[in-house]
């Protein structure tokens, strides 16, 4: 099966809703789709470990000094939790952007360590966003996973097996280098993932990089170097991006005041918050929230 054939199968299942922009989780664990009929401006979001198979259209994702763009038949592997800026760059009502998204389970990745062993390709230092082509075996595996949406009984039995196979295929992929580092619990990527978990769990409080380095089992200088190598940004900037992304969500979804949103995510000064918000999103908080979606 080709990516075009897989896209057609998904479009057929969507039916008349193929002309609307939406994301939806399926009844199959860890499987979601995203459909979009227009390009849009950069939007801030939090990416969790996923593989995103681009079936149609193009998308660009940026964090820190990393920026990747991917199109038809390519996949994006995200190995760590990341606050990113993302936008669809190619989409139309006649040819919508369509992506298949599978959330990754690092427990499955690590459980494959003993079984895969030396068969895994070498893993050169790569970053937490990696793009590459999708081979026929992975497409076939993903196609079988998508087919489970039509049969709940088969999904209950087969989903865990096929999900494990998906993880295996990604580990063996040319752009799966960062995932392969997770086979080793003491690798730099695993240590940075632990530090990211600590930042995520307590992003509202002031960040002590030395404490994060200690938790990761690294010297402060080594930790800073590897954190930036993996994520494309610094620990302090990572925390700042988390705060600003969450504040933007609060302003839009819960109609908080600017000061309330600032204090909610850990800022002590609403003025500093507004300044950093405008630097990241291109407009002060209140003006940004009032802009129509997708307007730069």
Tens of pLDDT, residue by residue over 27-83, are 999 999 999 999 998 888 999 999 999 999 999 999 887 889 999 999 999 999 999
Q: Kindly indicate whether the domain formed by 188-233 is annotated with CATH number 1.10.1060.
A: no
Q: How far apart are CA 272 and CA 274, in angstroms?
A: 5
- Quote the pLDDT of residue 46: 93
Q: How far apart are CA 45 and CA 60, in angstroms?
A: 13
Angle at 113 between CA 111 and CA 115, to 5 degrees: 90
pLDDT tens, residue by residue, 78-137: 999 999 999 999 999 999 999 999 999 989 988 887 787 666 666 565 678 899 999 999
- Quote the pLDDT of residue 255: 78
Q: How far apart are CA 150 and CA 136, in angstroms?
A: 22
* Whether the Cβ atoms of residue 26 and residue 168 lie closer than 8 Å to each other: no
The DSSP result for 127-158, as a single string, is: -SEEEEE--HHHHHHHHHHHHGGG-HHHHHHH
Residues pairing with 180 in the sheet: none
Closest CA to 188 of 79, 111, 102: 79
Q: How far apart are CA 82 and CA 44, in angstroms?
A: 10
- Quote the pLDDT of residue 162: 98
- Quote the pLDDT of residue 294: 46
pLDDT tens, residue by residue, 138-176: 999 999 999 999 999 999 999 999 999 999 999 888 888
Closest CA to 41 of 261, 247, 283, 285: 283
Q: How far apart are CA 196 and CA 128, in angstroms?
A: 12
Fold held by 237-290: Arc Repressor Mutant, subunit A (1.10.10)
Region of 134 please: left (phi>0), alpha (psi -120 to 50) or beta: beta
The residue to which tokens 């068969």 are assigned: 119
Q: For residue 20, how many other CB atoms are within 10 A of its CB?
A: 12
* Whether the Cβ atoms of residue 7 and residue 96 lie closer than 8 Å to each other: no
- Quote the pLDDT of residue 182: 80
Q: Do domains 188-233 and 237-290 have the same CATH topology?
A: yes
Q: What is the CATH number of domain 3-181?
A: 2.60.120.10
User: Which band of pLDDT confidence, cut at 50, 70 and 90, is reported for residue 181?
Assistant: confident
Percent of the chain with pLDDT over 70: 92
3-class secondary structure, 44: strand
Q: How far apart are CA 156 and CA 148, in angstroms?
A: 9
Q: How far apart are CA 274 and CA 71, in angstroms?
A: 35
Q: How far apart are CA 201 and CA 79, in angstroms?
A: 18
pLDDT tens, residue by residue, 7-20: 888 888 766 555 66
Closest CA to 170 of 238, 217, 121: 121
The tokens for 67 are 């920026």
Parse the chain into domains and list their residue ranges: 3-181, 188-233, 237-290
């Amino acid at each position: 099966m080709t990516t075009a054939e897989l896209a057609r199968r998904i479009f057929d299942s969507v039916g008349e809703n193929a002309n609307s922009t939406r994301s939806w989780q399926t009844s199959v664990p860890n499987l979601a789709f995203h459909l979009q009929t227009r390009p849009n401006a950069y939007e801030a979001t939090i990416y969790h470990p996923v593989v995103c198979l681009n079936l149609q259209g193009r998308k660009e994702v940026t964090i820190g000094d990393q920026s990747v763009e991917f199109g038809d038949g390519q996949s994006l592997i995200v190995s760590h939790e990341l606050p990113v800026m993302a936008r669809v760059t190619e989409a139309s009502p006649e040819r919508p952007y369509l992506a298949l998204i599978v959330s990754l389970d690092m427990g499955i990745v690590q459980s494959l360590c003993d079984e895969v062993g030396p068969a895994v390709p070498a893993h050169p230092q790569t970053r937490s966003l990696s793009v590459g082509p999708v081979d026929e075996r992975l497409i076939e595996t993903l196609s079988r996973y998508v087919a489970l949406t039509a049969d709940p009984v088969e999904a209950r039995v087969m989903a865990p097996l096929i999900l494990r196979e998906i993880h295996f295929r990604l580990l063996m992929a040319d752009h799966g280098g960062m995932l392969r580092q997770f086979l080793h619990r003491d690798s730099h990527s695993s240590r940075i993932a632990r530090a990211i978990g600590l930042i995520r769990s307590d992003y509202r409080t002031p960040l002590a990089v030395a404490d994060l380095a200690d938790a990761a089992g690294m010297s402060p200088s080594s930790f800073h170097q590897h954190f930036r190598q993996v994520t494309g940004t610094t620990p302090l900037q990572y925390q700042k991006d988390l705060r600003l992304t969450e504040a933007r969500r609060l302003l839009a979804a819960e109609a908080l005041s600017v000061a309330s949103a600032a204090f909610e995510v850990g800022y002590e000064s609403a003025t500093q918050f507004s300044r950093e918000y405008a630097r990241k999103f291109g407009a002060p908080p209140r003006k940004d929230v009032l802009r129509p979606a997708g307007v730069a």
